[in-house]
A and B are shown apart, each in its own frame.
Chain A
């Protein structure tokens, strides 16, 4: 064996495929970089397949590891040419490469890249390249060498690699021969697929996934051995024995690459011209200062307080120093556009709550109200651009997006990508398939995961699914599934992260087609862009803004009151009274059950209380066990104290308990001696770099650091767990502050104008936590006159009608009698009718004239199809012409299936005459109960009665009480309640406890089902739509729960109301069992979205009927929704 080798030029690895070549590489870029540094390589180049998606991560990791690094790409062609590795020599060449990839991607379907050698010949200037001969050393290779040699004589190389194949020596000799024949230098590279040999298993797995094969069927498409890993220098020397020149050539090639991704550091757009400033380009900083000045006058007509002036002076100085003015101006410009279009918007996030942003109108949160330290978000040291997210009305965000495209051009603005990675479930699913497990076995194992995003797989899951976790095969599968979690699967479009550039975007980042037509997406995600310091702005959609805008409009037209987000102040006592009573159904953020049960305990009385309320019910504070200490202190049960004096400044606003992400970070800095930049790294490590496994060292550093500084270990550990919680769903104070404003405004609207609020929120659906049924019910309890959908009275949207009949206000809301100023009735809109489109509604409204007088009249004049009119009949919309649901349906059924407009007029007239002569038919009248059920089916609510009302007499004899009487009963008493199931939740932080909310005709009851009871009654908890509960009544600070001992399925009883009791509607938006879409970050959702079990009413008598219901039911269910 050769002794230690002397390598004068250093060893470099130039061809590395990371897992951003989706399903080809088996290591993260970071892993590759770290391994290369450990092995003692001098430099590494990541070359993914027609992609630069992974290069930024590699770049950042290499910076940290102090490793030489080059960005590169492996070009794979469609025309049978061998693969070619390219490395841009300089910034210009890099631009060429991006353009080349963009070209290939833009002409291919999403996720693909179609390139031909000709493209490279045209755009390959400045690229160092190496041809990677494939198995066939044939004519394609020779012609490829010839044409590239002619075009780029000094840039071309031939790559020499060795993978322990059957003919290595001969093959290498032939390649060397070929290279020297054509006078092209030979360069050694490893063509690496993973960082260490142990990754071969995973490499095999991803190959199988890619090829849609199992391990048993994939055969020779797998690599025969585990040799495509990174090698130490002496290993490389041995590998390329006899070709030392090629190794030296690799080094010199690497050293010719002078380009670094750092050069891309964003240059902001050109100096903007603003009309307010005379429509001439003004230097950015000057423009910003002038605009701030103008805004300041508008905000504070009587002169600004000194505190604000100081803040502005300070911020402006900092902005100037860091040259961030263009960024603020860009956001300003977008916000200004939105405002000019009457699109409601509000900024949030790090820099958004600064005084400058307030003056610019980016946010409405008065900096005088709340003091947030600007430096906390713009740190000089980090020199990273600030981060402002702007929320827009969800229905109109597209207009803003189009504006950005128009203003900056599609070639300079693009949407950031989101890297979709493997989660526990998808990992089990795909790896299970590769192992040849049957679909149901896979479902069974995957189904034991409660969250689709959970990151860990443990053997318990398998045991729960009835498998033997000691089974070797299964163990391997679970192990590999665990490893693949976090691997990127594909790129998707970010919800609204825009990147805006001065140069052509496609010369900075390759752009590919998005799934949506006419959309493109860049290859890098938010973090990548942030790492490189490129300008990005999040343009997000928020349903509540839509609702508030609509409410303001109604307020103006119906009550003549003009309001804005900032005009309502923040000190309205009756609004806070309402919040304290947890009367918050429908309002922003604080409407969930967890939030509602927090309200009476927290008793918010000021704006800042709302900020805390918004932030406290989150995984961070919950995992850090910070909620109860805070509540105790707030309620005066515990003294406010600080772990150490030095933290007082950080924690005094929150009574000594860290609640916000900023505070947690600050503690790391103050108490554990983190550098500010380090603390930020910690935050990002939690959010994005979790996979690399640096968390452990952070944990140690933080906890030990704090202990060394004299903190209690327990407190230190809580703080760290809290940060971990933030990693999943970071919720900083700056976001909470912006959200709190919307909370306040929506509460104010609901408090004073419940009619306006109800109409606005119904018109903004889908959004929020509750379904129309609960919103309508809540409005009625507040004395709002609700009127049914009708062909002659309703518009598409719900509207306000004059002349409301006075309605009784429920006893629990009596206090609000004087505050509520509602004088209008809400006429429900046609949008609530399932399956009825806006287009049809417009037709109906357009031809309505002085009203329709019959079903036939509606059909003839509006030209709607019979099918559409049936939908209206099913929703019982013909009452104004004296037809009930059944009569209307009977009449509608007789219409020609086509719309009248599609028929020949002559025959139409003849037919009409004929058919009107038909004999009178007496249909059996529809009982009220059936009407109610049909209402639920077609509208998902009923104004006629609550379904439970029909069971009341029977329930009363069995001893059930009405939910409304719960507050009057003694605590710890056993009670029996009943109701329709609105929401089922199983929060991850609650250790398997299921929370269920049920509703009867008088009100809701909150049920807690402990795991033991759940196991016993899981069929009922998960499966029934109408239940009764026997249990102990508990009350904490006015929040009443019933801890279930026994449950009973009342659905069969429910069915007695109607022969066809598909009670589909009315389930709240938040029901986790019904919800089909994932990504409810702060919630854990039950295993398999037991959608079906909820949707299907238990076994009808005959299967034929059962099947009908299933399909009808599926159509009836609204889609699930996400929350922020």
Chain B
């Protein structure tokens, strides 16, 4: 959605140190600016660029010590050995910026992002609510500062002028119609031009916006291209610029408004069913299925309750979607406060995947929805998806570590069963039952590597009739330490046909002089 502006007043906010501010807020709390920065080593944020880990953002404290943006981390550390560095988390920065934008909606609904480190706010006609432009700017600055954000901001007639002044100037409010004079002394970089253009402008001596504005247009366009003129015109208000207000958009939405707020759970469930029904054809048309859905319940008093569910498979069936929310609601129960009721209910599909429709069966009841996947979705909705786990193979030689569990929903792609066996092994080499932990066995056997002849396990004596081995499995030295013992596994069978999996712990001679025997599993 775009918003066309005619007589406008724009506020531009520049967050000069967003990434480090975010970290500072984590480290020292949101009021760290007001409290004063603790005396600790400077903080920088690093990211991968040009084959090296480089500084992508830094706080003033760091630049005072010679750290620069674009510097490689190792260089920076050579300069300031104690440098504290965090990996660049663009998503977190973006989330923070969005959160700030949402918070800024208290001033005006028309808040737009400007790049990755700034906001535009269209404050046309609403400044009187805050005591005028000067008060608004001062108030906003103070509040953001109090939240631990370093900012520069400015109000002007155009987004371009406000942006320029916020980042390159010192004036907080440029009066109506005074834009041109105010920004003419600023560097050309303030026109939001790409660095190469800025450099070539500087080369020929055109260093300020004023220089540029006074020149005939044709020679400029011939040399530096039209974007320069466009940016210039936008800043000077010769050309209008639209800003796109920020509004988080779900992929698909369906909502219902009520004249009378609804309160009862049954009503909500019924409404959800209707909303889900509305979405199905939309999903079908796109060939998609929902992987994550969210319900927003807008309470009349302004509060918003949000419920969301995730599914293991792309889902399109309205009934199933509704049923998942029923599980959620059921799970919430007491935590659910309808207050004075809800006047809007909105169902959003937040994440989708291509839906591969399977061949329908004539005999089975397609509506049942109680298949394996549906079960997992329902259990997940009720218990939390992380808690629904299945067994997986772990890639290791050590028997007791060779399996594990993982959430079902998470790794659809991986093989989900334990029955995968390595190729070419026509003999079963692993027991059916693996003991919880190996049990010490008294054994008669020959060193260095002969099988047991006779052993006593759980107070019973067994005579070994047949055996096979040893299969030698060494420790995972990087976890267990290099001194850990190697095991020699034997498959042994006693006279009655019981088959055991046991091992001698430690190599005779190389690791120990008195290796002990353990029982580790049973074949039958």
Contact = CB atoms under 8 A, between A and B. Distances in A.
A1099 B76 CA distance: 13
Contacts of B154: none
Interface stretch (B78-86, B103-111, B135-143): B78-86
Contacts, number: 195
B167 interface: yes
B167 A1086 contact: no
A1013 to B, nearest CB: 16
B78 A1093 contact: yes
A169 B468 contact: yes
Contact of B200 (A204, A227, A893): A893
A197 interface: yes
Given A1-B447, A918-B216, A1111-B195, A137 B424 contact: yes
Contacts of B207: 1059
A503 interface: no
By DSSP majority rule, is chain B's interface helix, strand, loop, or mixed?
A: mixed
Interface in B232-286: none
Given A138-B424, A440-B73, A220 B397 contact: yes
Given A447-B74, A919-B216, A1107-B70, A440 B53 contact: yes
A224 interface: yes
A850 interface: no
Interface residues on A, range: 35 or more
A435 B219 contact: no
Contacts of A1079: none
Given A1096-B71, A1098-B66, A170 B427 contact: yes
B7 interface: no
Contact of B202 (A224, A466, A1060): A1060
A164 B471 contact: yes
Contact of B427 (A167, A218, A1020): A167
A204 to B, nearest CB: 8
Contacts of A447: 74, 77-78
A906 to B, nearest CB: 20
Q: Identify the interface centre among B66, B76, B422: most chain A CB within 10 Å of its CB.
A: B66
Contact of B78 (A170, A1088, A1096, A1112): A1088
Interface stretch (B22-30, B291-299, B472-480): B472-480
Interface in B98-130: none
A874 B469 CA distance: 79
B75 A1018 contact: no
B395 interface: yes
B395 A472 contact: no
Given A889-B203, A915-B222, A1019-B65, A224 B395 contact: no
Given A1-B448, A440-B53, A1108-B199, A924 B205 contact: yes
Contacts of B219: 894, 918-919, 921
Contacts of B422: 135, 220
A7 interface: no
B223 A894 contact: yes
Contact of B46 (A169, A440, A473): A440
Q: Indicate the member of B202, B204, B224 with the most A CB atoms within 10 Å.
A: B204
B69 A166 contact: no
A1092 B75 contact: yes
B66 A874 contact: no
A96 B189 CA distance: 69
B429 interface: yes
B375 to A, nearest CB: 31
A5 to B, nearest CB: 14
A1116 to B, nearest CB: 12
B63 interface: yes
Interface residues of B, number: 73
B427 A1105 contact: no
A1106 interface: yes
B203 A886 contact: yes
A1107 B193 CA distance: 13
Nearest to B447: A1
A472 B481 contact: yes
A1098 B63 CA distance: 8
B319 interface: no
Given A167-B425, A444-B77, A226 B204 contact: no
Nearest to B450: A1
A306 interface: no
A893 B211 contact: no
B87 to A, nearest CB: 8
A719 to B, nearest CB: 37
A567 interface: no
A1019 B75 contact: no
Contacts of B195: 1104-1105, 1107-1108, 1111
A121 interface: no
A1038 interface: no
A1099 B68 contact: yes
A1022 interface: yes
A1096 B394 CA distance: 48
A403 interface: no
Nearest to A1097: B68
Contacts of A197: 510
Interface in B440-455: 446-448
B209 interface: no
A1099 B468 CA distance: 72
Given A167-B471, A1110-B68, 11 more contacts: A136-B423, A201-B477, A204-B478, A220-B395, A220-B397, A923-B206, A1059-B207, A1086-B78, A1090-B75, A1090-B78, A1111-B195
What are the 9 A-B residue pairs with the smallest beta carbon separation, nearest first? A219-B395, A164-B472, A1108-B195, A893-B223, A1088-B74, A166-B429, A1110-B70, A225-B472, A1019-B66
Interface of A: 1, 135-138, 164-170, 197, 200-201, 204, 215-220, 222, 224-227, 435, 439-440, 443-444, 447, 466, 472-473, 476, 874, 886, 889-890, 893-894, 915, 918-919, 921, 923-926, 934, 1018-1020, 1022-1023, 1059-1060, 1086-1088, 1090-1093, 1096, 1098-1099, 1102-1108, 1110-1112
